Amino acid sequence: MTENTARSDVQMHSDAMQQFLTFSLGNEEYGIELLKVQEIKGYSPVTPIPNCPAHVKGVLNLRGAVIPVVDLRVRFGMDAAEYNKFNVIIVTNMGSKVVGLLVDAVSDVLNVGPADVRPAPDFGTHADTRFISGMAACGEKIAVLLELDTLLVDVEAPHEAETEMAAKPAAN
């Protein structure tokens, strides 16, 4: 399926519902647009790359493709935590780049209507306000919806090396 189709479908739905994939980081729930999620992987060992920003944990070999993995905890300034096989790497595909997000766990797929999205208050979470697109109720918890583009805007370093590899379409 083409991106366009997907997008249009989404737009169709965006008027009614948007689907977010919620994941947890520490005690907080975050959400990202489901359509941007390429796949969800279990934790695999990440190869660290020197001279990377701190939040870039390294790179990962994803069926031949080398993708950078961002440690969201570091990104959000949280304390680092032990990573085990129950951690999840959410492979996000934003068209131009594919980035893996290292999170604690994946929770659910949320169908969120626009009425459920609240604007983010300027306190309370580790995530910088720029990243937050809003907040939604997720069961009893509030999930902070993240804006991926802004989140991953500066994930550049291995990008150049990867761009050539990403030239092969990440088709699935």
86 makes contact with other proteins (CB under 8 A): yes
Q: What is the smallest separation between the CB atom of 97 and other proteins, expressed in angstroms?
A: 18
Q: Is 115 among the residues that bind other proteins (CB under 8 A)?
A: no
Q: What's the min distance (Å) between Cβ of 3 and other proteins?
A: 9
Tell me which of 14, 24, 26, 34 binds other proteins, using CB under 8 A. 34
Residue in 28, 29, 37, 162 binding other proteins, rule: CB under 8 A: 37
Interface with other proteins, residue 106, by CB under 8 A: yes
Q: How many other CB atoms sit within 10 Å of the CB of residue 155?
A: 21
Q: Is 41 in the site for other proteins (CB under 8 A)?
A: yes
Q: Parallel, antiparallel, or unpaired for β 18-25 and 28-33? A: antiparallel
Comparing CB distances to other proteins, the nearer of 86 and 123 is 86
151-170 residues in contact with other proteins (CB under 8 A) are none
Looking at the Cβ atoms of 87 and 125, the one nearer to other proteins is: 87
Among 54, 109, 153, 161, contact with other proteins (rule: CB under 8 A):
109
Measure the CA angle with vertex 1, ends 112 and 36; round to 5°: 40
Q: What's the number of CA atoms in the CB half-sphere (13 Å) around residue 9? A: 9
Alpha helices in 64-124, H assignment, sequence order:
72-75
1 near other proteins, rule: CB under 8 A = yes
CB-based contact 59:72 (threshold 8 Å): no
Give dist(CA 124, CA 85) in Å, integer: 29
CA–CA separation, 47 and 58 (whole Å): 5
User: How far is Cα 64 from Cα 111, in angstroms, rounded to an integer?
Assistant: 33
Question: Is residue 32 involved in binding other proteins (CB under 8 A)?
Answer: no
Interface residues toward other proteins, by CB under 8 A: 1, 5-6, 9, 19, 21, 34-35, 37-42, 85-86, 88, 106, 109, 172
